Structure 1
């Protein structure tokens, strides 16, 4: 009996010590959480009069938080993430001033690799992935005047669902080539034009060969299409074609060869400002369809992201300009022009050299066209790629794309349809 009692006492002592250690660990975790810079959560309150949600930050340990004053959020991510410590600026958030953002009415559907064109106070948002296995084939319209979504209508069944090239003359929207279907399916060479006054579609001559996400713009009466990825979705294309168009109609039956772009690849901004054509950022390489996959399942391949800037001059020669503050891709519809400055919103940069994960961009960049200089305008509410941007009456807007996993993790996670805006003064 004495031996049994001794064993029972030993077991009770061990159990007591385990409980004590566990209690101390939980207590330490509580104190760490209460002092951690990430121990905040965002609370959203609806404002029906403005059709937006105001973001307020509340400390997780504050009691009676419902009585705290509401403030529009000011984002501060000046601290490097744990995964990016001791790395150069390419892989870390760049120093940037605060921008005060407010969340507006969410888009009817989330979109990744969609397209967008702004005409006056309307933002036409096209296609895109809903998930990797589902793509959209319709258009949604955001009205900047009353900050509402509406006016959905269908796209042609033969039109690409992602990786489109797109440009407008102020009434007609020209939609060029792109990927047809989900996952990593093949591209189409088919092109279409939308009359925004009637929402009617018509055909344009097909490209000589299909492309993924080519740089596309209207310049001097011609629709220019250049770069992008070739038919395998991975190899960069250098080809450059143009087609004379007017009032939504092609004036020629075939595309004309133009001077090749110095560096190929998809996911670039292409902008015409004051009769000058600019091509900004992008990447070489992209995901490919897995060989033999019946659903064209996406398979990772090596990608090189760059910040190169090119301008096509009066002699139809390419001129290289100062590069972006960091390499930036997935920005084909992430730009606006404000007071002679090209503004780029979000994107992706080079993959992390240690984890090999994609790193999303959370900065707003500006390129001053008079000084030919880049600057970091400010920080976004989170890092995000393939944003669809607009600008109206002093407000910078962006919607849709794929955002980061959180302040400490810049890799991509959720595809979103949220709409945000900030007052921008340049």
Structure 2
């Protein structure tokens, strides 16, 4: 008979357990050391998962992702803060006024004395307005509605005034992402009569438009596919709501093309501010020209056209800003404010990011500042300034203080006392 020693079997079993115990302690020590080293250099991910009662160790996948961020030099919080966070600004006291008769997105507005003429725009993505409403700053009321010509564009208009006549250039005809028209008109704001002007050489969406030295200038915008930036620049001589020439004249192209920018004349200089490259396009084959998303690049570039017909780059806006073609107003003899707009899309969600700041530009010093915030972030708002009061109406607002993406199209009207 062969006896098996109980000591031999028990000894091997205890030795194995002891070895596994040592390996476990060693592995735990390595993990704790790794966590300590990682937390000293990059505490953010770990601080978020440690509570006062329990310590939860991150997974190796989390550690691997953190290491990848270090190698790539990525700091997401810093990127978001630089490009998308609201800028510091004084708090303004806003007063809500009478709502516009209809909500508007991508509408247009021109101020003449104490009246704000508000044109067209989307009511919804499938419905566009084809009339004009008037807001009176003196008695703070809406009224005087009248129709636009049937051939006139409904959004993405170029527009400017000489103090009586309003010149309306090209734009999108219809809802969703339909095509542009080259049709051009003038409105006599006294008689409310319309007149045709020679059509633009080619259609454009939301071109920069301004009167300068007796000529109606039209620049940039988006080309016929709604997405490709146009850099062309045309002008035509006009006076008292009439064209003095039969054809548009080619001028020096704008340095950077694209739609949705402010265009201003100050001290006999022409300024073009902000804008974007790219826009939504009609989905191929869609019978209703349904809008489909495309890449957009928003910028804060500022260009000035001088006596020699040369473009000069000036200090850029505090942050990239677009959808501001009718969101500006002179507030004194040498400065202008730009209200709201859109900035670069969120890098992760790819959603449009709205702006709630008011930017102030002094022409003489060529300096920008942030002078206040709106009640909410808003794009394509329509702005006026009268006797110290800054007004804005309509546009598309954000989803709330914590979410700057677009939500509801509005007809609200607000004002604040502005002292500069």
Same structural fold, with TM-score higher than 0.5 when normalized by the shorter chain: yes
Mapped pair 1:136 → 2:129 = yes
* Aligned 8 A contact 1:84 1:91 in 2: no
In structure 1, the residue matched to 2:45 is: none
**1:262 offset after TM fit, Å?**
0.1
Q: Deviations over 1:293-328 (max 9, x none)?
A: 000000000000000000100111101000000000
In structure 2, the residue matched to 1:27 is: none
Normalised by the length of structure 2, the TM-score is 0.81
What is the aligned counterpart of 2:99 among 103, 106, 127? Answer: 106
In structure 2, the residue matched to 1:248 is: 241
What is the aligned counterpart of 1:300 among 275, 293, 302? Answer: 293
Q: Secondary structure at the match of 2:154?
A: coil
Question: Following the alignment from structure 2 to structure 1, what is the Cα–Cα distance between the partners of residues 364 and 161?
Answer: 25
What is the aligned counterpart of 1:150 among 137, 143, 155? Answer: 143
Question: Following the alignment from structure 2 to structure 1, what is the Cα–Cα distance between the partners of residues 313 and 411?
Answer: 35
Flag the structure with higher helix content.
Answer: 2
What is the aligned counterpart of 2:223 among 230, 238, 244? Answer: 230
In structure 2, the residue matched to 1:160 is: 153
**1:274 offset after TM fit, Å?**
2.0
Is the alpha carbon distance of 1:390 and 1:292 closer, same or farther for their aligned partners in structure 2, counting shifts above 3 Å? same
In structure 2, the residue matched to 1:69 is: none
Q: Which runs of 5+ in 2 are unaligned?
A: 1-75
**1:84 offset after TM fit, Å?**
6.9
What is the aligned counterpart of 1:333 among 326, 346, 366? Answer: 326
* Aligned 8 A contact 1:114 1:163 in 2: yes
In structure 2, the residue matched to 1:400 is: 394
Question: Following the alignment from structure 2 to structure 1, what is the Cα–Cα distance between the partners of residues 77 and 410?
Answer: 25
What is the aligned counterpart of 2:310 among 287, 294, 317? Answer: 317
Mapped pair 1:173 → 2:161 = no
Mapped pair 1:412 → 2:378 = no
Q: Return structure 1 stretches of 4+ with deviation > 6 angstroms.
A: 83-86
What is the aligned counterpart of 1:124 among 98, 117, 129? Answer: 117
Q: Deviations over 1:115-137 (max 9, x none)?
A: 00000000000000000000000
What is the aligned counterpart of 2:361 among 356, 367, 371? Answer: 367
Is the alpha carbon distance of 1:249 and 1:277 closer, same or farther for their aligned partners in structure 2, counting shifts above 3 Å? same
Q: Deviations over 1:280-299 (max 9, x none)?
A: 00000000000000000000
Q: Let me know the Cα RMSD of the aligned residues.
A: 1.0
Question: Following the alignment from structure 2 to structure 1, what is the Cα–Cα distance between the partners of residues 391 and 307?
Answer: 33
Question: Following the alignment from structure 1 to structure 2, what is the Cα–Cα distance between the partners of residues 406 and 181?
Answer: 30
Is the alpha carbon distance of 1:84 and 1:330 closer, same or farther for their aligned partners in structure 2, counting shifts above 3 Å? farther
Corresponding pairs, count: 344
Q: Secondary structure at the match of 2:415?
A: strand
In structure 2, the residue matched to 1:213 is: 206
**1:91 offset after TM fit, Å?**
0.7
Q: Secondary structure at the match of 2:83?
A: helix
* Aligned 8 A contact 1:84 1:92 in 2: no
Question: Following the alignment from structure 1 to structure 2, what is the Cα–Cα distance between the partners of residues 252 and 353?
Answer: 48
**1:275 offset after TM fit, Å?**
1.4
Normalised by the length of structure 1, the TM-score is 0.80
Q: Secondary structure at the match of 2:171?
A: coil
Mapped pair 1:199 → 2:192 = yes
Q: Secondary structure at the match of 1:190?
A: strand
In structure 1, the residue matched to 2:82 is: 89
Q: Secondary structure at the match of 1:207?
A: coil
Mapped pair 1:350 → 2:344 = yes
**1:382 offset after TM fit, Å?**
0.2
Higher-Rg member (1/2): 2
* Aligned 8 A contact 1:160 1:179 in 2: yes
Question: Following the alignment from structure 1 to structure 2, what is the Cα–Cα distance between the partners of residues 86 and 93?
Answer: 13
* Aligned 8 A contact 1:327 1:349 in 2: yes
Question: Following the alignment from structure 1 to structure 2, what is the Cα–Cα distance between the partners of residues 84 and 193?
Answer: 49
Question: Following the alignment from structure 2 to structure 1, what is the Cα–Cα distance between the partners of residues 219 and 292?
Answer: 25
Q: Secondary structure at the match of 1:307?
A: coil
Mapped pair 1:381 → 2:375 = yes
